[in-house]
Amino acid sequence: MNAEVRLLVPDDWRMWREVRQLGLRTDPGAFSTTAHRWLSTWDVESRWRDRLATTSTFVALVDGRPLASAAWDPAGHELVSMWVAPQLRGSGVAARLVEAVVAAAGEETVVLRVMSDNVAGMRFYERHGFSLDGAGPDAEDTLGMTFSR
């Protein structure tokens, strides 16, 4: 399966909305409770555009359809909004998205949060240079990980 990884701009807000909401609906347990606001109170065009203006958000397109995403949030030095559709898992798309985020971060520290029960996610991130920060789960039951260059 050939996927094109693309950096989005604010005018791509509908594409970002499609993949973000698909991920939240497909794998609700993979996301913190605040992330689910993208399905309700945060589901307004201006919010989608603002997010794309303040992050480097990447999507993977297959046959023109966005089926995976990850973003670099420079404010928090954080890889956020990582999700890959089930049919793309194991295809290398997730690795390409992580590489895009790390490249967007430049020399900045990159951290992320992963749900504490997402063992497969933690293993994936560890294979791609992240390690657990040692702190216990936060209020949203996520664990922190940091990228080592």
| pLDDT at residue number 1 | 73
How far apart are the C-alpha atoms of 125 and 114, rounded to whole Å?
A: 9
Nearest to 112 by CA among 146, 87, 73: 146
The pTM of this model reads 0.95
pLDDT along the chain (149 residues), means of 10: 94 98 96 94 97 98 96 97 96 97 97 96 97 94 95
| pLDDT at residue number 38 | 96
At 54, which CATH number? 3.40.630.30
Residue 30 is assigned to a structural domain of this protein: yes
| pLDDT at residue number 24 | 97
Domain residues for 27? Answer: 4-106
| pLDDT at residue number 52 | 98
Residue 20 is assigned to a structural domain of this protein: yes
Reduced DSSP (H G I as helix, E B as strand, rest coil) percent helix, strand, coil of the chain, to 5 = 40, 30, 30
